[in-house]
Amino acid sequence: NAGVMQNPRHLVRRRGQEARLRCSPMKGHSHVYWYRQLPEEGLKFMVYLQKENIIDESGMPKERFSAEFPKEGPSILRIQQVVRGDSAAYFCASSLLSSGDSTDTQYFGPGTRLTVL
């Protein structure tokens, strides 16, 4: 059973370009979470999605950032007009269950390291 897949592993963009980060959850998982990790800091929650729905985007900047998790295909985190401060590692996690009575473990992908020149 393949784990969470993220691509690309490394992404270099110039200021003002767009960055697209992809995340394929584990098989059978329908909940996806995106986190950002800045150097020397812990992971910061960005957004939680279920298939075709954004459940919580409270951790995502209001401008330039968007996320989707279509019915078919991977979840996409999109950053428009990137700036140097967007340079970070972006991790995706997936889980089988989420809301309700059960707490389910989040399994993480390898991350995408974004460098903005």
In the complex, the residues that contact another protein under the rule CB under 8 A are 4, 31, 33, 35, 40-45, 48, 55-56, 58-59, 91, 95, 98-99, 103, 105-111
Please report how many Cα atoms fall inside a 13 Å half-sphere around the Cα of residue 20, on the Cβ side: 6
The distance of closest approach from Cβ of residue 31 to another protein in the complex, given in angstroms and rounded to an integer, is 7
Q: Toward another protein, which CB reaches closer, 25 or 109? A: 109
Q: Toward another protein, which CB reaches closer, 10 or 15? A: 10
Query: Based on the number of CB atoms within 10 Å of its own CB, is 108 exposed (0-12), middle (13-18) or buried (19 or more)?
Result: middle
DSSP code of 84? G
- In sequence order, what are the beta bridge partners of 11? 114
The distance of closest approach from Cβ of residue 87 to another protein in the complex, given in angstroms and rounded to an integer, is 17
12/19 Cα distance (integer angstroms): 9
Q: Toward another protein, which CB reaches closer, 72 or 101? A: 101
